[in-house]
Structure 1
Amino acid sequence: MAEQPAITVDVHSPAVDVNAPLDARDTQLVQQTFAVVATLGADNVGIIVFKNIFQIAPEALGLFSFKDEADLYARGGKLEKHATKIVNTLAMAISLLGDLTALVPSLQELGLRHVGYKVLPEHYDVVGQAIIMAMGMALGDKFTDPVKNAYLKVWAIVKTTMVGDNYS
């Protein structure tokens, strides 16, 4: 089994204020802990995210092209492919946290595409909650309040950027 990436930033203190702007420590917390999560595989993490989405909002299944699949979680199926894309996009966003000039246009374009998929602003809350839950499951005792709050700050940036002015 591959050795997990090291987490060198203190995951316990100081506290992370979710209302403060994203700072370098928040970025380190998310990037280093996500590197650990990534060792599980984007497909596996993505399936956990989708199980969480459907636990939080079962009606969300109706929004997806794979809604009628007999075996929703089949390996190589449409859900797994979409789940892998979501985790890979999240990984891209996390890797670009230090370069918002590169990140923002990608998220804006992705948000605009999601308007066409009939995604509503409130759907981002469900996905964000599902991702945070998945991070907690994957990280176990490394998913401390500061780590959770850093992820909440990152998701707020993702959501705000993807929603943008698309629903005005």
Structure 2
Amino acid sequence: MNDETIHLLETSFAEVAAIREPAAALFYERLFANDPSLRSLFGGADMKAQGQKLMAALGFVVGGLRKPATVVPTLESLAIRHLDYGVRDSHYTTVGTALIETLALSFGARFTPELRKAWTEAYDLVSTIMREAAVRSRAPAVA
């Protein structure tokens, strides 16, 4: 990912962080609208706390884009933990869609094709790392 894209993600995330609670609520609204079955993965979770975790994770990823080696192990660990919650590979697509919809709705006309591309590229990178970690963790150990 080039410096210009990273800068775009950093500056746009600063705006999202300023509206973190409504942005997180909108994300989960979009997530459950796109796949109502995902609501069951959250059980009785405090969705405000869940939104705080989401925003912290996004901030961690955006903050680590200039030094990806520091982010990858955490993303891999997160992916493995999410398996215990019932997350499947197909859910990553739904999450990506909800994220882009949230950003589009939050930024409105300012969600330019360039900004959409940057966030899509960042999410694709994160989801690839997480999906691959999940697959590896399910693979039988080689003796």
TM-score normalised to the size of structure 2? 0.89
Whether the 8 Å CA contact 2:76–2:134 is kept in 1: the answer is: no
Which secondary structure does the structure 1 equivalent of 2:134 belong to?
Answer: coil
Q: Tell me the equivalent position of 1:95.
A: 63
Which secondary structure does the structure 2 equivalent of 1:118 belong to?
Answer: coil
Over the matched positions of the two proteins, sequence identity in percent amounts to: 24
In the TM superposition, what whole-angstrom CA distance separates every residue of 1:44-68 from its partner, at most 9, and x where no partner exists? 21111000001111111111122xx
In the TM superposition, what whole-angstrom CA distance separates every residue of 1:8-50 from its partner, at most 9, and x where no partner exists? xxxxxxxxxxxxxx2111111111111111111x222111100
Letter in 2 for 1:57: D
Inter-partner Cα distance in structure 1 for 2:134 and 2:56: 23
Inter-partner Cα distance in structure 2 for 1:105 and 1:165: 9
Whether the 8 Å CA contact 2:26–2:102 is kept in 1: the answer is: yes
Inter-partner Cα distance in structure 1 for 2:47 and 2:11: 27
Decide which structure has greater helix share.
Answer: 2
Letter in 2 for 1:64: F
Inter-partner Cα distance in structure 2 for 1:121 and 1:109: 15
Pick aligned residue for 2:41 from 46, 54, 63: 63
TM-score normalised to the size of structure 1? 0.77
CA RMSD of aligned residues (A): 1.3
Unpaired runs of 5+ residues, structure 2, are none
Query: How far does residue 142 in structure 1 lie from its aligned partner after superposition?
Result: 1.6
Inter-partner Cα distance in structure 2 for 1:107 and 1:161: 7
